[in-house]
Amino acid sequence: MNAPVRPLSLAKAGKGRTRSLFHPATLAILALVALAHLGAWWALNRPAALPDFNGQVAGLAFAPYQRGQSAEGNNWPSAEEIAGDLRTVAPMTRNIRTYAVHGGLERIPELAASQGLDLRVTLGSWLDRRLDRNATEIRSLIDTARANRNVDRVLVGNEAVLRGDLTPQQLIGYMDQVRRQVRQPVSTAEPWHVWLDHPELAQSVDFITIHLLPYWEGLPVDGALRFIMEKLDQIAARFPGKPIVIGEVGWPSAGRDIGAARATRVNQAEFMRRFFIEAQRRGLNYFVMEAFDQPWKVSFEGRAAGHWGMLDLDRQPKWSLTGPVQETPAWPLWAGGATLFAFAASFFFLKRRPDIRWQGKLMLAGLAQLFVVGTTLTLLAMSETYLSASAAAVWGVLVAGQVMLLALLLSDSFELAETIFGRIWKRRWPALPAPEGMVLPKVSIHIPICNEPPHMVRQTLDALAELDYPDYEVLVIDNNTKDPALWEPVAEHCARLGPKFRFFHLGKWPGFKAGALNFGLRQTADDAEVVGVIDSDYVVNPDWLRRMVPFFNDPKVGFTQSPQDYRDAKESLFKRMMFWEYAGFFRAGMVTRNERNAIIQHGTMTLVRKAAMVDAGGWAEWCICEDSELGLKLMRQGWEAVYVPDSMGRGVMPDDFAAYRKQRHRWAYGAVQIMKGHLGALLNPFRRDLTWGQRWHFVMGWMPWFGDALGLVFVLGGIAWSMGLIFAPVRTEFPILLFMLPSIGLFLFKLVQIMALYAARVPCGWRDRVGAAFAGLALTHTIGKAMLAGIFTKRAPFLRTPKMKDAPALVQGLVMAREELALLVLLWGSAIGVTIVHKAGTWEAILWTAVLLVQSVPYLAAVAVSLIAAMPTRRALVLPATGGNAPIPQQAGHAGTALARTGDGL
């Protein structure tokens, strides 16, 4: 028996690896991309030159809540904590403003005086709809104001009219009550427009306390100062002679965009410095909103509410009053870490494929830096966000998703680089036919069938009868077929073909296809050394065995595999799309996996060494992808696999979208079963039954399907979130950009990857590449459901792909994709609703709408493909010629015959 032809010397390939790895050009490319990455960080974090302010801040809003404390709970600051905060702000200002006189906050004036701090207190009280509680608050306000000489003004309520908690008349009554019992001037605090809308308030106060917060007005930072001065002058003109105190003025250092308002550290510093200079020039009384960040406000005011402080929650200044300001002062550490990690990742991959051309190295290094920086920015944002336990859990899940996405993108980038730009392929062997007269081992070919159309199976058997091979048998195992009209003609045909063909009717039989194959294994001739399996719809080439069996001359070879291929691609546009969607895996993915002995055994056109199969325990009846499970099990036992990308047999494809979807559901669910069944071998680093390359391909090869499951969760979450943005737009914020951009980026990258891989390895034109991508996208929802089901369940019914079904009507096409259609409508409705409510006023609103539309593409694809599949075909389509050198094979049989493959493999 001829030994399979081997490629160029592996020693030569290994020598080239060492040279390439340390070649100056390789290191230069990695260094160049790393420097570009660092340069981008530097450019985006250059210090902003802002006007200096050399005076003292006139006043600070003072809320002394520490980490984990809140005005809404019972966890209030202690006297020691309040005193410490007073000592912190004393060097910054001589005036503070408070908001309540309960929970210990009424002691603020006393604590300031007892420590000898030169602080004047504008004493505030909190009033709301609870009238009994308001009465207690008013009594405490009066008592505290009368007891402390450092209280120079009194505020009765804060934005109570704005919130609708009190009417102006009620508030005036409270102020009159307080004024009669204290010596200090009395007012209340409201935004500028409330004073204009309710001039009776201004007539009832000793001074007007106005809130001017241009961020909430959606103004750009460079127009904010002009705005507040205009409003201040407007109030002064409307109420001449009335003293005005700016009760709150400020800008948040982080938070969502509102119109043109951007909440950043640099913008906060710029606005406040310019305001301080102008306020000093005009001699204004004001209180900065606020001294310290207060993240407890986030739950009802949004993310920006926690970032108004001049000092952060740990009482550290965010910026100084003089000198340049950086958005991320610690950026060198983050940039250095991200650059180093991406450099190491690129180096790790190139070490394994140093033969990649310089263009591939540049692409891989650039993508690695780009993808790593996305995850780094997410972690950076997380480090700068005050997280509650629940928020930390949500962020943790999202970051875990980002890390999984990073691993997937790095893996896909490497596959793209090595597939397109690799120069040395070590495991490509031509399948040369064994010469006539050579002694070849006996082969037992097994064909499991269940409710198959008899004439289709007869085609398969007739092709096997024409095999150019000296010694083989064919076992047809029919299981669970109840109608004799289906299996009896097959049995009769086997009898006509002679003693090589044996037929078994098992009736009701456990284990589905695996059970039937295990039965066939027990019936295999004792002298057979190789077992072959094909699906019941495959018409094999006469030289299939003569070309593939010689590989078993190598005692390390456990099984061989050639591609699934199809003969009905010209039957309809739907089948043409499927044909090229399948082709991508067998012409690109399997070739790459073969380089690390990590191919997927897919149950048809496969040959297995019988002794290896028996040692492995046969086919796994617990797994609905028994073929892929057997391949992995053989690899764990140390067997080599051989993949030859030549087409040596052709079957038929599913004839409607429902069948196409059931097939992929089975593959995805089976993948989870296999992962769970072999988890230790795949993930335990101390196990040695799989190589690292095999682990990499099996784990990362199925990771995109786990990504589809995560994507389904995000789709449902995105719809729910959109409902909040539409029906509760004030209380619901958009997700931060760092969680929106990756989903859009991943979608675009996958499209580019598919187009590039197809252009390099799959001989079809651009129209067929688009069609293949569209067909694959149409299965996203199905795969996501299957993966989630596989994670949470152990077994699923064996969904056999139907055959010989008539093409469905148009309405049936919509019914087949009814789940996808419903989600498509919800996503589009959400996008329209968010656009109407938020008027595309911010980048967050625009990007969220884009995310919803991107998420809808797979659902649109599913509906479109289902409708395409529903189109009746009366004759073979005359389609444009394909690109490349491998035209679509002509269909067998009559034009318009709707044959569908079993699809039990992969």
Per-residue pLDDT, 442? 97
Q: Tell me: the pLDDT tens digits for 767-811?
A: 999 999 999 999 999 999 999 999 998 876 545 444 434 444 567
Count of residues making up the chain: 906
Q: Tell me: the pLDDT tens digits for 301-328?
A: 878 889 999 999 999 999 999 999 999 9
Q: What is the CATH number of the domain that holds 457?
A: 3.90.550.10
Q: 812: which 2 tokens?
A: 């049936």
The torsion of the CA quartet 390, 393, 397, 403, rounded to 10 degrees, works out to 140
- Asked if residue 845 belongs to a domain, the reply is yes
Boundary-marking domain end, from 307, 322, 355: 307
Boundary-marking domain end, from 395, 426, 457: 426
**Overall pTM > 0.85:** no
Q: Which residue has the tokens 């490509």?
A: 428
Check whether residue 482 and residue 406 sit in a common domain. Answer: no
Q: Could you tell me the residue range of the domain that residue 383 belongs to?
A: 1-47+333-426
Check whether residue 14 and residue 74 sit in a common domain. Answer: no
Boundary-marking domain end, from 426, 460, 485: 426
Which residues touch 70 (CB under 8 Å, ≥6 apart)? Answer: 296
The CA distance from 209 to 161, in Å, is 13
Across 336-366, b (16+ Cβ under 10 Å) vs e yields eebbebbbebbeebbebbbbbeeebbbbbbb
Q: What is the CATH number of the domain that holds 99?
A: 3.20.20.80
Q: Is 761 in contact with 415 (CB distance < 8 Å)?
A: no
Per-residue pLDDT, 18? 41
Check whether residue 683 and residue 602 sit in a common domain. Answer: yes
- Asked if residue 318 belongs to a domain, the reply is no
Per-residue pLDDT, 409? 86
How far, CA to CA in Å, does 258 sit from each of 300, 301, 718?
A: 16, 13, 20
Check whether residue 240 and residue 256 sit in a common domain. Answer: yes
Check whether residue 35 and residue 119 sit in a common domain. Answer: no
Check whether residue 20 and residue 133 sit in a common domain. Answer: no
- Asked if residue 29 belongs to a domain, the reply is yes
Which residues touch 748 (CB under 8 Å, ≥6 apart)? Answer: none
CB atoms within 10 A of CB 896: 15
- Asked if residue 346 belongs to a domain, the reply is yes
Q: Is 548 in contact with 439 (CB distance < 8 Å)?
A: no
3-state secondary structure 106-174: HHHHHHHHHCCCCCEEEEEECCCCCHHHHHHHHHHHHHHHHHCCCEEEEEEEECHHHHCCCCHHHHHHH
Per-residue pLDDT, 796? 64
Instruction: Quickly list H helices, 793-842.
Output: 810-816, 818-838
Nearest Cα neighbor of 600 from 512, 707, 701, 668 is 701
Check whether residue 676 and residue 789 sit in a common domain. Answer: yes
| Average pLDDT per consecutive 10 residues, the chain (906 residues; last block may be shorter) | 36 38 78 94 93 96 93 89 97 97 96 95 96 96 97 97 96 97 97 96 96 95 96 96 96 90 96 97 97 89 89 96 94 95 91 88 92 88 79 79 84 90 86 88 96 94 96 96 94 96 93 94 97 96 96 96 94 95 94 94 95 96 94 96 96 92 94 95 92 93 90 91 89 76 83 91 94 95 95 70 48 83 96 92 86 94 92 54 39 32 34
- Asked if residue 408 belongs to a domain, the reply is yes
Per-residue pLDDT, 883? 38
Per-residue pLDDT, 890? 37
- Asked if residue 530 belongs to a domain, the reply is yes
Q: Tell me: the pLDDT tens digits for 342-358?
A: 999 999 888 888 889 99
Q: 321: which 2 tokens?
A: 């009053």
CA 762, 764, 765 angle in degrees (round to 5)? 135
Per-residue pLDDT, 888? 39
Element (H, E) at 288: strand 286-288
Report which residue type is found at 324: P
Check whether residue 33 and residue 106 sit in a common domain. Answer: no
The CA distance from 342 to 40, in Å, is 14
Per-residue pLDDT, 810? 67
Check whether residue 707 and residue 636 sit in a common domain. Answer: yes
Check whether residue 343 and residue 239 sit in a common domain. Answer: no
Q: Tell me: the pLDDT tens digits for 509-542?
A: 998 899 999 999 999 999 999 999 999 999 999 9
- Asked if residue 188 belongs to a domain, the reply is yes
Check whether residue 20 and residue 98 sit in a common domain. Answer: no
Check whether residue 163 and residue 238 sit in a common domain. Answer: yes
Nearest Cα neighbor of 154 from 118, 182, 186, 125 is 186
Domain count, the chain: 3
Residue 529 half-sphere exposure toward CB, CA atoms < 13 A? 14
Cα of first residue to Cα of last residue in the chain, in angstroms, is 30
Q: 354: which 2 tokens?
A: 């140093």
- Asked if residue 322 belongs to a domain, the reply is no
Q: 138: which 2 tokens?
A: 């008013």
